[in-house]
Structure 1
């Protein structure tokens, strides 16, 4: 297991009803194929050695004997393979017949797990042939294939420090699936050997069951359903398979295929463990168990494979794709607006004061303000947009700010800050030609003072514009643009701000605003605190100074959401940004560049916590937030040593002598 990833597969073999020799050969072929692809856990469908639709043939001794002989053959093959195999077969024990999953690896049978819930309604008659798992007296020993093993539904299996459990088909449909208890007892992956027939609309239902159970149990769920070759006397089985992880569908089989399939996916166990640690309901479920742990754990031995991961990572984890993007943008807009509406109603304020720079963040804040005023039936002139040109203001941003405010019908005020800042420089004896942090922050604090004082004048409140990415990096002036009376963008990352503004331009706003909004999206991100270049263009570009926001947002997501260590974030970032993805419109970055900015991220993230410890109120929009009252509580003086040291090792490994970082 590298970076917490384990490769699993659902195998969908062709079967012939009651032809155990044919079925065994098909299973063996897929076992060898899976081994060649580096699969570590391989799951076959329910009763795959005999086929599920044998009906009364399950009472024939020859079929049961051949199933046991076939299992012996698979055990022999497994001596030459590394993967764990889970296969379905009927097992006779104490005069009862059980529908079982057999767990085998390296020639050893580690356990038999019988089905708990037997469907006996509509088209199903399983109780005619099989006994449920609770017919057993706890963990019973059974002699099979020349080995003594355990037959019990209360079993867990551990391989390479990863624990998995098994349930069979109908078990998932029950009001209290066995996987609930398996997860509470420690199973991080659930395997389901299934033989559910196909009906119109059933695939969507099963997909929801699988993804929903993976979310509820904070686990990975692998579902392998039987397919072509099962009897079509009354039913059709289309070969349905899914791999889900914590509510997200990773892989899905091609249904109604006549050919065998091997559905492979990589499970991030560290991600699942992070979710369980974070979710207090999970730990409370463990504490509220009526009875102590009754599951036994079988320890499997497996060589850790040094194989490259094939799992794909979205370079823009905060930004959904396709139709979901439009739905998400609309939802975010309404969450922000509803939060602001409540704050206005509570404070009896009919005025909002916003500093409008012509940049992305202030534009989004203004759009939210306008939407909120429309929602409340308030006059847009109650929104006071203030442009405050300073030493670095360019014509492009200045004009965009004015045009946008004019088109939206808000009150416009222009208050230049140069004279006031020069007076301040004189007061503190600072050389105006020294363009240092004092030079920059004096402008930011002057602007904040203007906004606060105007808010007092009009009896309103200052609407903050800073976003989540800036808060993570501390890219804000303490007690300057860092402060407001309500920070409407505080949980929205920069990569998403762009899409929100573009979406509003293309879907909601008045026609006259679209062109200026799209130009704002295309404008380089800058605080404009340093003078423009000789051609009047923006000279101070934020991403040249602190790094690309698409990288920092990626780092932030996996730091906040899952608590991954820097080495893992680096590895998945390399996969995410290693090639051009036209649909996502992101840049390609070298390993050296990623390593450099990763170190910058963690250094700034720890160093700038003091700014996040005193943030104004803000609406939580997504799963990640840095609010000191909600999602992120961190000491301002916490040491970054462990994170930075690991980043240093990555940088050293990635940067050959005399090679420059491509910044």
Structure 2
């Protein structure tokens, strides 16, 4: 039996396009001897379709597309991920693996375990399946699992005690092979965990398994792709990550042998691929680049714009964008103001030269004087944070105006540390459609920049693209004389530990203080700032998710709230407009 496992990059909701691309991949697989095709979870609609599933005709269009594929390839058995209509259940649709053979749909295996943690909310749209599912093919009993049916939240830091084991049901049914359709988004370190979990499973049950994952960026989520095969000879990743690919696997006597792969251009490629990379910065780099590339393309844009300050964050975003969409499609805008140093301008221009991106220089001094004068004439002198934020917002205004003129998409450049404590300006440096570093802590931004410079050739650059001075100089907003981030914030090495504990691990103030050896009042202060700035994050650009707990759809926190368990002064937790630290470095 030759199995073709197809990792596709669907566009959410574009059923006609997704089905057409899948048909091309199926044809290439058939041309190379495949008689059983496995596609990823919800490949027809793309994952996650979210409330598009509620739109009249969406599910029916997906079902029609699967039926058409079945009719197009009558001699091929196919397992295709798609929603389908169900009746007499709690929800009108199921997340299903549709079995096609002999020119039609012959069965449907509905997902049993519907995740409702982090970014997942499948119980909102789907009814769970009613039992384990398998089918017969050439005398082989083949069991089918969909994503969480296999992982059961064991690949993430979430506690879930499911009452059933779908994989166990298939073993009890005597299945000779298990196929898994997955749409599992990237989280740092998760790829290794999944590989280990599959290995443990197949060693226990001695049943070969093939798992295929969706690839591509969809809004804040990035899917790495990848085909994993596991049998008595071991567990291995057998396809490249971060790109569409079809893996050809032969099953004989309970052993899986990878015979080759088909790339996105339909060309047959030999061999199988190596293990999951051990370098965490490598996978973070690939995830962010793919996330930018697909967000830009799938929103109908062809170019991006961002502010260049000469600092580490804007330099890193510009470099990632150049790798994602090409330097000619990246416009960096220098917007020096009254407190910008000549060194920062020089650093920004060095980045322009090393990456090859386009650039403009539009000073904001005159605009700042005019706005400050206009406000002062009616409301009195504008000083302090108010004046600093005028500068940040003028830069946001310039950036959006140029992007509107050119039809480009604006990338926000702030990092997770700043977004956490509100060290950012609404309608200023927070302006943009996509927050590239919004899930990357400041200390990790430095590490990623150094990694890119060390691996610049592999990243597509002739020389290290990020200026050393941008990495090594003390970070500064340059919104007032001699300003430094640490005037308002603790050292990032300390702040980032607090953010990891409070945001990513949901630890208590007491536990954080104890673990980090910090003063309790300090921890209360910084965690309080994180909570008070939820209103800013609710207005932020889409944040590319790379951590277990990113700001956005997977972390739903109230705005008008007081966490009495943290023992903070009640008045200090009252949100107000532009509360928290507003002054930021120029974008």
TM-score of the aligned structures, taking structure 1 as reference length: 0.44
TM-score of the aligned structures, taking structure 2 as reference length: 0.49
